[in-house]
Structure formats: C-alpha cells, structure tokens
A and B are shown apart, each in its own frame.
Chain A
Amino acid sequence: EAQVTQNPRYLITVTGKKLTVTCSQNMNHEYMSWYRQDPGLGLRQIYYSMNVEVTDKGDVPEGYKVSRKEKRNFPLILESPSPNQTSLYFCASSYTGARVGYGYTFGSGTRLTVV
C-alpha cells in the first residue's frame, strides 16, 4: 500500500531532550515536506526537500533540522525542544511536487507535547 509512515504517533518529552520524528514513504516520491498544525494557524511548512541531499527552509524552520540521505526517508530533528514546539506534525510527500500537478500524500501525524 502506498503510504507515508510517521513515527511515533504520540510523544511527550521534556524541554531540551533531543528527539527525532521519522518519516518514510514507499512511493519513490522526490518531494517531501514537514508541517506543523496549530489551532487557528493552519498548516505551516517547516522544511521541504526536492530530492536526496537537497533541503530548504519553509516558513517556520527555527528549532528544527532535517536530513535527506535517502529518497524514502525524511526525519525531523528537534535538537532542544521547547514548549512552543508542542504541536501536531505532519510529513507529506509528492511526486515532483505540486507544480507539475501532483498532490501530497500525508502521514497520519505525530502529536508532540513538550513539557
């Protein structure tokens, strides 16, 4: 089944403790992206990647890191999480991106709470 798999689904952590949220897709998509969703603010893009070893900042990259060493994986790293990073996170992928007419496939989300 074609899908984007995020782990974990739920995570409660303490301020400053490094964490990684994994994202993997099995559709050979080139484009991958991370979003956070907060009430009243919609989905805001954190980072995106056009292909292996190519990443770029979205609208809200502060406090996050990503890497794209393999086409299928796009982990989101929070080196020193803070309470304002408490949010619902989504990974998404697309075949060559929306500009040529392909939509996103989204993961199921990771609900992160930083205390």
Chain B
Amino acid sequence: SQQGEEDPQALSIQEGENATMNCSYKTSINNLQWYRQNSGRGLVHLILIRSNEREKHSGRLRVTLDTSKKSSSLLITASRAADTASYFCATDQFYFGTGTSLTVIP
C-alpha cells in the first residue's frame, strides 16, 4: 500500500497539553500533507511540507519530515477542545492513512 499510516490511532490529552502524532509512508515523495477532519465532515488541509524541508510551522502546528526514515510528525501545541478531530497525513499521490483520532479534554 502507498498509504500514509498514522500513529497512534487514538490520543486523548488535557487542554493546554501538546499533541504529537506520527505518519509513516512507504514510497519516495515530493511532499506530504496533513489534514484535519471534524466528525463526519470534509477534510481540511492544514499544512504541506516538501521533501527538501525538514520542519515547517503554521500557528500552533509544527510539522517535521524525515525522508530517510519515511516519516513525519505533526505537533499541536497548547491544545484546545476545538482541536478535537481526526488527523490524516497524505502523500503527494493523495494516499491517505486511517488517521489519528485526537480528543482534547477541557
């Protein structure tokens, strides 16, 4: 499968804590993307990191990419209840994983 695979499958944290989720993939990529999905809704594009980048920031989001390990991580700092959602990574051929379900407890 060319899917990205997220880890962990589920994550529960207290509001204010940081949340880290990981993504592994199998093929060479030009870029990797992260998306958020609120329950039953369409996915929303969060951030894209190119293969020649190692780290990228967007607000409270920090994404890293290690092409030698074929892995990426998404860090959400100072989490809020509104961050409760599923998070997906996708390779540049738009192959999605099964997602990490994040619950932020107020």
Minimum Cβ distance to chain A for residue B37 (Å): 8
A55 cross-chain contacts in B, Cβ below 8 A:
none
- In this complex, the interface size class of chain B, counting residues with CB under 8 Å from chain A, is 20 to 34
Given A103-B48, A107-B42, A109-B41, A40 and B94 contact (CB-CB distance below 8 Å):
no
Q: Judging by beta carbons under 8 Å apart, are A45 and B95 in contact?
A: yes
Can you name the residue of chain A whose Cβ is closest to the Cβ of B33?
A: A103
A90 cross-chain contacts in B, Cβ below 8 A:
42-43
**For chains A and B in complex, what number of residue pairs have CB atoms within 8 angstroms?**
66
Residues of B within 8 A of A (CB): 3, 30-31, 33, 35, 40-45, 48, 50, 88, 90-99
Chain B CB within 8 A of A82 CB: no
Residues of A within 8 A of B (CB): 4, 33, 35, 40-43, 45, 48, 88, 90, 92, 94, 97-109, 111
- Give Cα A34–Cα B71 distance, bound, in whole angstroms: 26
